[in-house]
Each structure stands twice: as structure tokens, then as C-alpha cells.
Amino acid sequence: MSKLELKAINKSFGSAHIVNNLDLQINDGEFLTILGPSGCGKTTTLRMIAGFEIPNSGQVLLNSQDITNLPPYKRNVNTIFQNYALFPHLNVEENIAFGVQQMKMSKMEINKRVDEMLELVQMQAFKTRKPYEMSGGQQQRVAIARAIAPDPEILLLDEPLGALDLKLRKQMQFELKQLHKDLNKTFVYVTHDQEEALTMSDRIAVMNRGVIEQLSDSKTLYNHPETKFVAGFIGEANLIPVKIENKSSFTFEDKTFEFEHQNDNKEAVLFIRPENVSFDSETDIALTVRIEDVIFVGNHRKYKLVTASGQKIIKTEDSSLALTKIIGQSVTIYLSPNLIQIFNS
Amino acid sequence: MKKIRSFIISFSAFSVLWFLYFPILIIIWFSFNKESVSSFPIEHYSFDWYIKLSHNESMIQAVKISFFIAILSTIAALIIGIPSAYALHKYNYFGKNLLLKIILLPITLPGIVTGVAMLSFFPMLGIPLSLKAVLIGHTTFLIAIMITQILARFKKLDPYLEMAASDLGASPLRVFFKVILPNIKTAIIGAVLLSLVLSMDEIPITFFLISRDNTLPIEIYGMMRRGITPEVNAVATLVFLLSSAAIFMSLKFNKEN
């Protein structure tokens, strides 16, 4: 049984259809990330789970109970906001206690809970500070503690690390992941940062134009994208336009290659990751290219290749390998049938 | 060149200030004159006029009435103004923009227009010329002050605070009292001080609606008709000091975030 279920959700603002017939099942204790570019409907989806927006149609089920039309304060779901939204008139302790005070608890129990939370995010020393007296990272910790304190069924995180600098962001990614493990709670995380999504999530729902294009774990998403959008959005990808005649071949620059695929659209794209383009493991799919440039990028080396028709292809390799090619040289590259995919363009 | 320009600008600025405040300084100075004729040089200084003022029954009565009107109309404006400002801030509804513009009308219209309008309208409602009429008159323009001042603060308030509170299980009422109100508190105090001052020295509307009982400005005006006495100077000095203090505090509270 899923913890949270979104069923055929539609949401529009005026004439803009933001979320389109969306279905999503989230398992108990899972770290699920909704990943997508800005305007894809990910934040709106989160807001419908939190209760800040009501869908035009469809259902939100929490533990199989319909909460679609419940106001936020009647849902046992808490949010961590991008700008933290700490109450400026309350100190750290009072901020964390805010949600707990709504529950029927004695003063002693509330204090105990607040202390537990302070310890969890290691902010005991800041108990009496006001939000404006703390750095962004410290405010973030308090926001986390405040959201967890009422012991919600689900924790919603709306780009919570967006406002932090790179180093702190990395550290908080690690801490959030650790927190998820310790609390054993369901996390629904929204971000546009693919790296954040890949490192933290159990599963990722890639969203584009109001629909989920693919829902899978990080590895599958990277190695076996299901649509052109997902292939292009996650990591670096070569997306090479090809022509399709039948389901057992494709044509590129007047050469036809044998390849079994499921696509019947005439215009399609061939997908391959830059690290999978090979100079030496020979396959039947061989292309002649010219090396336009070689760039050193720290731990790897990037080749900018160009075909006879001017199609650009990127290849990367470990920079510890000896450099045997020179700029301007003509070389043959091989694409392994196991590592390529063909998508509708 | 730059120096000359800066000198000219600061000279003009101070001239204007001098022009505005010199008469007030003179009044304050004369209020300590022992003689009953306001002329230089002042030979003996004293608090005589202040002491005399404290025995002036009709003046004390007028001060009481003014405070009474100012406090009651400010409370009424608060009760109407805060929820109105909240609604204007939070909800979108038909005619909202028009309403926002009309709200300012009682401040921008000359008081004499409002005064005459109320003078002819109130009797139709069966409200006689009285302090009750004055109270309603003051409340109408104080509501405008309240709403504009508080709305300005709402606009600066982070909308996520309300969402966060609601998210943490607070009912709309609790959100308002525990989160919204504490964060607009200073704006409210500022607006209250400003309202008190504006009501205390309001003349045009009051003039049309008053019957037997005088408010302080009307009482002073009445005294002036019998000639300028140093007693008037003393009252003016006190009103000036009180008003300046209130306005100064009001500005301070409004700036605070």
C-alpha cells in the first residue's frame, strides 16, 4: 500500500494547464524526488500535497484516505520552504515548538520534543536566537527541526537547499540523506538540480510540462532514460537526429545501420552518453568523425567531434589515459548497440 | 563648483525649514513671557500662563473631549481597518482595485467637502449634530489612514509565513493572532499614534458636526476670537510637543521591520 497516492490530478491557473492528469504513488519511508525545469509543475504538485492548492480534478490520498480538499492545517504533512519561512518574531525554540503546540501535549512534553529536535539538527546552542541572528545554513536547520517536530506522516521539501552556497549545499545534502535514514519517514523532495536528485533519492520522478516523463531510481534514469527529454535533462547526452524506415534499422548521413528498436516515427534521435562513445571497442555502428577540439576537464577529457554533415558529437574519457589523438585528425568512433537508444524527436 | 552647489541647496533647505518652524518657535518662546502682551524684548520669564491654563475649566473640558474622540475613533478605525486591510491584502475580488482607490478619498478630499456632506447627510440618518457625529466623522478618515498604513506592512510581509503556520497545523484564526498580528504590530502602533494626532487637531469636519461641546482645536479657535492671549501660546506649545512626540514615534514604528 502506498503512503501517498496522486490520482489523475489536473491543475490549471487561468488558461495555463500546469499539471496534466498526473498519477504518482509514493511508498512508505521512501525518499522521492520530483525533478524538472522551472515551470514544469513540480512545485504546484507539492503544494497540492501540502494543501496550499486544490486540484481542479483528481484525488490526493494519504494512507488511502482522501485529503484532496483538506486545508493545510488539517493534514499531517509538513513542508520545508525554500526561503525557510521562519517566524521572525519567535526565537529558535519557539519556532520549533509552533507546530507541536497545536497538539494536545503538556508543556513538559513540548519542551522535551523541542530539545530532541534541537539535538537532531545540532542547534542546542542557538535555542534563544532570533532567525535574523543566524546564517542561512543555521536557519535551514531550524526550518528542518520545525517541520519534523510535529512528527508528520510525510515531509515535503521545496527546493530547500536552493538558497545555500555550493559547499554548504553539498553538506546539507548529506545531512538530509542521513536524516531520512534516521527518521525512517517519507520524504517528497522537489528540485531542478539533477545532481541533488541523483545523489539523494530512492526514486526520481522527472517532470516536464505537467506530466511525469519517467519514474525510476537514479541508475535507471541515467542509463536507461525513456524519453528524449529525460535523456537530455539528466547528465550529458548526445542526441543525434536520425531517420527511421523500420523497426530494425536507422539511417544517419545516408548510411543505414542495423538496430532493433521500438520506434516508428520517421524523425527520431539517437541517444548515447559521451562516456559510451568509443574509439576502440569495435561495433557495427561506426562513424567517421573529425576531432575539432580536446578539452581537459579535471578528471576527464572531452573530445568535440564533428561528422561529415556537421553533426556534433561529444566523447569523454578518463584523463589518466594517454592522449593519442590530435586536433584535426579523422577518426572512427563506435557506438555499442547496448548503450544506444532511439527516441521520438 | 560642487561646494557652491551644495551650499545653495542646504541654504534653501534650511530657509524653508526656518520659514515653517520659526512661528512655532516664537509661540513657544512667548508662552514663557510673564507679560500679557506678546512683544519683544521679553523681560520676565515664567510659567504663569501654564498655571493659568491648568485652571481653565472649559479648556480642560475640551482636552478631555478631544482625547475621548481621538481614542474612540482610533479604536473604531482599528476594528474596521485591520480586517479590511487583511482582506484587501489576502483576497482577490471584484472591484478590489476601485476600492483601493476610493479608500484614500477621505484623506485626499478637502475636509470641508466631507464636513458639508456629513452635515447634510447625518440628520437624514437621524444622527443629530453632536460628539457622536464628530466621532463618526473622524472614524471615516482614520479608517483610510489605518488601512493604508497596515496594508503597506502586509505587502512587505513574507507570504510564506502564513503558509508555514498553516502547514504546521494552525487554524486561520491562530495564524492571524500568532503570526500575522505580531509581525504587523509595529505598523499598528505607528498607525494608532498617527490617528490620535490627526484626530486631535482635526478642524474642518469637526467644525461642521459639533454642537455644544468643543474639541481642543475648536476651543483654541474660540479663544483666539477674543484676542491672542499668552494662554493660547501655552496650549499651542503643549499640543506641539505632544504631537511631535507622537509623530516621531509613529515614524519610528513604521520604519521598523
Answer yes or no: do B165 and A52 touch at CB < 8 A.
no
Q: Other C-beta atoms within 10 Å of B131: how many? A: 18
- Mind listing the pLDDT tens digit for each residue in B122-165? 888 887 778 888 899 889 889 998 999 899 889 889 999 999 99
Structure confidence at residue B37 (pLDDT): 67
Nearest-CB residue to B169 (from A83, A87, A150): A150
CATH number assigned to the domain covering A237-344: 2.40.50.140
B-facing residues of A in 280-299 (CB < 8 A) are: none
CB B205 within 8 Å of CB B195: no
Answer yes or no: do B163 and A102 touch at CB < 8 A.
no
- Domains assigned to chain B: 52-255 (1.10.3720.10)
Answer yes or no: do A78 and B167 touch at CB < 8 A.
yes
Structure confidence at residue B38 (pLDDT): 63
Eight-state DSSP code of residue B177: I
* B165 close to A (CB below 8 A): yes
* Position A131 confidence tier, pLDDT thresholds 50, 70, 90: very high
Over residues A29-44, mean pLDDT: 93
CB B177 within 8 Å of CB B83: no
CB B200 within 8 Å of CB B70: yes
Beta strands A31-35; A203-208: pairing state: parallel
Chain A residues touching B170 at Cβ < 8 A = 73, 98, 102
Answer yes or no: do B170 and A73 touch at CB < 8 A.
yes
* Position B256 confidence tier, pLDDT thresholds 50, 70, 90: low
Over residues A88-101, mean pLDDT: 93
Nearest-CB residue to B168 (from A52, A71, A98): A98
Structure confidence at residue B231 (pLDDT): 79
Nearest-CB residue to A85 (from B161, B171, B178): B161
Q: What is the CA radius of gyration of chain B?
A: 23
Nearest-5° Cα angle at A200, A342 to A231: 10
CA neighbours closer than 13 Å in the CB half-sphere of residue A266: 0
Structure confidence at residue A319 (pLDDT): 87
Q: Closest by alpha carbon to B223, among B70, B26, B19, B49?
A: B49
Mind giving me the DSSP string for A26-44?
A: E-TT-EEEEE--TTSSHHH
Rounded alpha-carbon distances, angstroms, from residue A142 to A97, A130, A342: 11, 11, 47
Structure confidence at residue B121 (pLDDT): 87
A53-57, B45-49, B176-180 — which is least confidently predicted? B45-49
Cα gap A284→A336, rounded to integer Å: 8
Overall size of chain A counted in residues:
345
Q: List the single residue in A with minimal CA-CA distance to B171.
A: A73
Structure confidence at residue A205 (pLDDT): 95
CB A197 within 8 Å of CB A33: yes
Answer yes or no: do B167 and A50 touch at CB < 8 A.
yes
Over 80: is that where the pLDDT of A244 sits? Answer: yes
Over 60: is that where the pLDDT of B257 sits? Answer: no
Cα gap A312→A314, rounded to integer Å: 7
CATH number assigned to the domain covering A4-228: 3.40.50.300
Overall size of chain B counted in residues:
257
Percent over 90 (pLDDT), chain A: 70
Structure confidence at residue A290 (pLDDT): 94
Cell of B116: 458639508
CB A250 within 8 Å of CB A257: yes
**Domain spans, chain A:** 4-228, 237-344
* B158 close to A (CB below 8 A): yes
* A89 close to B (CB below 8 A): yes
CB B34 within 8 Å of CB B46: yes
Question: In terms of pLDDT, which residue wins out, B122 or A52?
Answer: A52
Over 70: is that where the pLDDT of B233 sits? Answer: yes
Chain B residues touching A78 at Cβ < 8 A = 167-168
Run of H or E including A257 = strand A255-258
Mean pLDDT of chain A: 91
Answer yes or no: do A52 and B163 touch at CB < 8 A.
yes
Percent over 70 (pLDDT), chain A: 100
Residue whose grid cell is 543525434: A240
* Position A173 confidence tier, pLDDT thresholds 50, 70, 90: very high
